[in-house]
Amino acid sequence: MTVDVATTVPEADRLDALHAVLESGSVIKATRMLNALHPAEIAHVLQSMLPRQRELVWGMVDDPAQGEVLLYLNDDLRDELLRDMAPSRILEVAEALETDDLADLIQDLPATVTREVLNSLDEQRRERLETALAFPEDTAGGLMNTDMITVRPEVTLDVVMRYLRRLKDGLPDLTDNLIVVNRQGRYLGVLYLTDLLTNDPDDSVAEIMTLAVQPMLATLDAREVANRFEQLDFVSAPVVDEDGHVLGRITVDDVMDLIREEADHQFMGQAGLSETEDMFAPVLLSARRRAVWLGVNLLTAFLAAWVIGRFESTIQQLVALAVLMPVVASMGGIAGTQTLTLAIRGIALGHLSAKNLHWLLGKEMAVSLINSLVWALVVAAIAWLWFGSVGVASIIAVAITINLLVASLAGALLPLFLDRVGIDPALAGGVILTTVTDVVGFLAFLGLATLLLV
Amino acid sequence: MTVDVATTVPEADRLDALHAVLESGSVIKATRMLNALHPAEIAHVLQSMLPRQRELVWGMVDDPAQGEVLLYLNDDLRDELLRDMAPSRILEVAEALETDDLADLIQDLPATVTREVLNSLDEQRRERLETALAFPEDTAGGLMNTDMITVRPEVTLDVVMRYLRRLKDGLPDLTDNLIVVNRQGRYLGVLYLTDLLTNDPDDSVAEIMTLAVQPMLATLDAREVANRFEQLDFVSAPVVDEDGHVLGRITVDDVMDLIREEADHQFMGQAGLSETEDMFAPVLLSARRRAVWLGVNLLTAFLAAWVIGRFESTIQQLVALAVLMPVVASMGGIAGTQTLTLAIRGIALGHLSAKNLHWLLGKEMAVSLINSLVWALVVAAIAWLWFGSVGVASIIAVAITINLLVASLAGALLPLFLDRVGIDPALAGGVILTTVTDVVGFLAFLGLATLLLV
C-alpha cells in the first residue's frame, strides 16, 4: 500500500481541484468534494472565494456542518451569511452546536434569535452557556471550555479506565489529561492519559497525578495564557475560580487561534485595518472602513503641511529646502518605527515594562545617535554636492540628528504610554509616531534654516 | 485546600519577585527560585533582563537545564551565551539533549564543536540526527521529531496497553496518538490514546484506528503544515516520505513556535528588523543592523528628493506646492500600505494566489477610487480655502486620485511579484511601495502644476 498522494498535496492544489469541478458545473461532484472536507477547510474555501461563488458554495454545505463552518469564518463573512439565513434555520444550526461553540457564536446572532436560542436550551446547557459567557473574551475564563472529565484522587487507575470505557460520548476533543479534584470540586492536579496508560492499574490517581501543572485563574489575561501555553507546551490546562474550584479547561487549538488573532491584529493594525478584515469584502464596506483611516492620516498630514506653511518665505528664498525636507522627515520615521516595533513586541511578550523602560530608552537613543552621526554626514555630503551650500549641508545634518533622537524617544515611550491610557499601540502607535517625526523633522530643518540661512 | 495563588499570578509578578530577590543579593535564594522554573521560563527571564544581570543569572542556571534553556532563547542571545562557553562545556550540554533538540541547537554551534559532538554520539543517535538534519528547516521534515511510538494494526488494544506499560521511558512528550504502520513501516492511520482508553480492550487496532488523519509529506511547506494544524486542531501529526514510510511526527508546540516566528517576521520585517532581534542587544550590534535599513530608506528618500528637484523653479513660483506635496505623498502611502498588508496576509493564509488576484486588484482599485473621490474633494476644499487658488485645488485633487489608484495597484501586485522573484514581501514590500507612492505623488502633483499653472 502507498499513501494516497492526492491527500497530502498542498491545500492550494486541492482548492484548485474544487474550483475546476465547480467551473465544470458538476454540482453533485463539487458538493461531495466540499462536504468531505473538515468544517475549517470549508471555511477556508469560502474565504478564498469571490463573493458570487460563495453563495453558491455555501448552499452546498451540508446542514449539520453549517454551524461549525460559521465558527471558523472571519467575523465579516460570518455576519454576512447569518444575515441571509432565516431565523428558524439559525436556531437549528445553533442547537446542533456544542455548548462552548454556541457561546462563541451567540454573540454574533441577532438579539431576537439569541432569545429564542436561550429558550430552546435545557437547563444544564443554559447553565453551562452562562458560565462560558460570564467572563470577558480576553481572559482565561473567556477562552475556556466547560466540557471536561474530572476524577477523584483516591481511586485506582483501573477504576478510571473502566469509567472512561463507560462514557457514551467518548472523551472531549483535545483531552490529554483528566483533572483531579477533591470532594468540593477544588483543583488538586492532573492525570495525564500517557501516565494513565503507562503505570500499574492498581496505583491510585493520587500516586500518579502531576502536581506541577498550575491551574489558571479565570480572570487571567488571555495574552498571559498564550505565553504560558507556548512556554510550557500545554495541550490543555485547567481553569479555576479564586477558591480553586475547577470551572473548565483551555485547549491548545483555541490558544493557537488566539496567537494568530493577536499577530493579525498587530500586523493589520499598523495599516489601520481590522484583523477580521475579509479580503473579498464588498467594495463599499471596505471603502467606508478605509476612509476613516485615510481621514485620520489626512489630519496628521495637514498638521505637517501647516508646519511647512509657517516657513513659506524661507522656502521661496531657498528652494533646496523643499527638495530635501522629505529626506529629514522620512529618516526620522524609519528610525522611530524600528524602536516602536521593538517596544510593541516587547510589551506583547512581557519583556518590556516600566521597570526596564529606561534601559531600552538609553539603548535606543544611543543607537539613534550613532546612526544619525553616520547618516547625517552622508546626507550632508550629498546635499553639499547637489546644492553647493555648506549652510544647507550643516543644517540638514543637525536636523536629522535631532529628528532621529526624538524618533527613538517617541518610539520607546509611546507604546507604554498608550497602553496605560487605554489606547491600542498597535493601531495608533504608527500614526502618532510619524506625525511626531514629520513635525519635528520639518520644524528642525526649516526652523534652523530660517534662523541661520535667510 | 485552596490553590496556591502565588503560583497563578501573572508571570510579570513572579519576575518581579525574582528581581527583588536578586537585588537583595541573596544568591542562594535566587538560584533556588530560578531553577524551580521551566527552562522556557528561565529563557524568558534572561530575555527580559539587562545584559549585565544576564551573565550573573546564566551562571546560576543548573548545568543539566542549560541546554534546554538555550533552545528557548532567541538566536542573538543564544549565540552570545554559546560564544562565552568553553567547548568542553558545550559538548556536555549538547550530549544531555534529546536528539531532536540537539538537531535544533547544532546549527548554531561553532564548526569544531559540531564535529566533536557528532563524534561523541552513538550510531543510533547519529542516524536520527542525520534524518532530522536532512530536511530544510521550513519543511515538514525540518519540523518533525523522530521519537514516536508505532503499532501494528492486527494487535488488540489490550496488547498495545501492555506494550505501553513496559516502555521504560514512558511516552514521548505530546503524544496524543500512536502511529499505525504495516510491516514495511508504511503509514496506515493513527490510534488516538482517547480511543485506546474508551474502547473494548479485545478490539483490534485496525478496528479502532482513525484513517482520516492525512500524513504530511516531509517536503511539505512549513506554512502549509501550520495552516493544517490550525484548521484541523492537531496535537501531533505523522510525517512520511514519498513512499509512505513514516519518518517522524510534528507536534503542536513546534507549530505554535512557528506561527509566532512567522508573525514576528511579518511584524518586525515591516520595520526592517529581524524577528530574532533581541530587545536588549548591544548598542553597536543594533546600530549596525539598523544602519542598513536607514541606508536603504535613504536611497529611496533621495529618489523622491530628486523628483522634487526636477521642479525647483515651479516650486519657487508657487510655494503652496511645497506645503501641500507631503499630503499627496502620504495619502498614497497609507492607501497603498492597506492594500499591501491585506495582500501579504492573504498570501500567508493561502487565500490569495495568481488565480484570484485580478479580483482583489479590481476591488482595491474600486475602493481607492471611491476614497479618492471623497478625500480629494476635502483636500481640494482645504487647499482652496488656504491658498485661494482654484488651480492648486484642482491639481491636488487629480494628483491624489492618481496616487491612490497607483498605490492600490502597487499594493496588490507587489507581494505576489516579490514572492515570485524570491524577495520577501514582508521585508521589502513596504519600502518599495512608499517609494512608488512618494515618486508618483510628487510627480503627479508637481508635474501637473508645471504643465497647467506656471
pLDDT recorded at residue B3? 37
pLDDT digits (tens, 9 = 90+) for B397-428: 999 999 999 999 999 999 999 989 988 888 88
Chain B segment 90-149 residues within 8 A of A by beta carbon are: none
Q: What integer is the mean pLDDT of B332-360?
A: 88
Query: With an 8 Å Cβ cutoff, is B231 touching chain A?
Result: yes
pLDDT digits (tens, 9 = 90+) for A311-346: 999 999 999 999 999 999 999 999 999 999 999 988
Residues 6+ apart with CB under 8 A from A453: A314, A318, A391, A392, A395
* Structural contact between residues B189 and B196, judged by C-beta atoms closer than 8 angstroms: no
pLDDT recorded at residue A129? 82
Return contacts of B52-58, CB within 8 angstroms, 24+ apart: B53/B22, B54/B280, B56/B22, B57/B22, B57/B30
Lowest mean pLDDT among A25-39, A438-452, B109-123, B246-260: B109-123
What is the C-alpha separation between B104 and B107, in angstroms, rounded? 6
* Structural contact between residues A136 and A220, judged by C-beta atoms closer than 8 angstroms: no
pLDDT recorded at residue B32? 87
Closest by CA to A288, choosing from B412, B104, B12, B366, is B366
* Structural contact between residues A148 and A179, judged by C-beta atoms closer than 8 angstroms: yes
Q: Closest to B253 (Cβ–Cβ): which among A16, A233, A267?
A: A233
Cβ-Cβ contacts under 8 Å, B363 against chain A: 280, 283, 286
What is the C-alpha separation between A55 and A66, in angstroms, rounded? 13
* Percent of chain B residues topping a pLDDT of 70: 97
pLDDT recorded at residue B12? 59
CA angle B152/B157/B159 to nearest 5° reads: 75
Distance from the A115 Cα atom to the nearest Cα atom in chain B, whole angstroms: 31
B8 — pLDDT class (breaks 50, 70, 90): very low
Query: With an 8 Å Cβ cutoff, is A342 touching chain B?
Result: yes
Closest by CA to A146, choosing from A181, A101, A114, A112, is A101
Helix (H) or strand (E) holding B216: strand B216-217
Q: Closest to A260 (Cβ–Cβ): which among B259, B293, B331?
A: B259
pLDDT recorded at residue A10? 52
**Which residues, in sequence order, are bridge partners of residue A189?**
A180
What is the C-alpha separation between A1 and B381, in angstroms, rounded? 73
What is the C-alpha separation between B429 and B384, in angstroms, rounded? 35
Of A349 and B175, more confident: B175
DSSP three-state, residue A326: helix
* Structural contact between residues B203 and B226, judged by C-beta atoms closer than 8 angstroms: no
Query: With an 8 Å Cβ cutoff, is B286 touching chain A?
Result: yes
What is the C-alpha separation between A303 and A293, in angstroms, rounded? 16
Cβ-Cβ contacts under 8 Å, B171 against chain A: 194, 197-198
Cβ-Cβ contacts under 8 Å, B253 against chain A: 230, 233
Q: What integer is the mean pLDDT of B420-446?
A: 92
The pTM assigned to this predicted structure is 0.83
- Tell me: pLDDT of B107 over 80: no
Cβ-Cβ contacts under 8 Å, B445 against chain A: none
pLDDT recorded at residue A1? 34
Lowest mean pLDDT among A313-317, B95-99, B357-361, B428-432: B95-99
Q: How do beta strands A216-217 and A236-240 pair?
A: parallel
pLDDT recorded at residue A55? 84
Structural domains of chain B, ranges and CATH numbers in brackets: 5-136 (1.25.60.10), 150-269 (3.10.580.10), 283-452 (1.10.357.20)
- Tell me: pLDDT of B298 over 50: yes
- Phi/psi of residue B149, each to 5°? -110, 125
**Which residues, in sequence order, are bridge partners of residue B177?**
B192
Ordered mean pLDDT values, 10 residues apiece, chain A (454 residues): 41 70 82 86 84 84 87 85 84 80 80 81 82 86 90 96 89 94 96 95 96 93 91 94 94 92 87 81 87 92 95 94 95 94 87 85 93 94 95 96 96 93 88 94 96 87
**What is the interface pTM, i.e. ipTM, of the complex?**
0.82
Average pLDDT, chain B: 88
Cβ-Cβ contacts under 8 Å, B338 against chain A: 271-273, 290, 293
Beta strands in A106-212 (DSSP E): 150-151, 177-181, 187-192
Cell of B261: 516566528
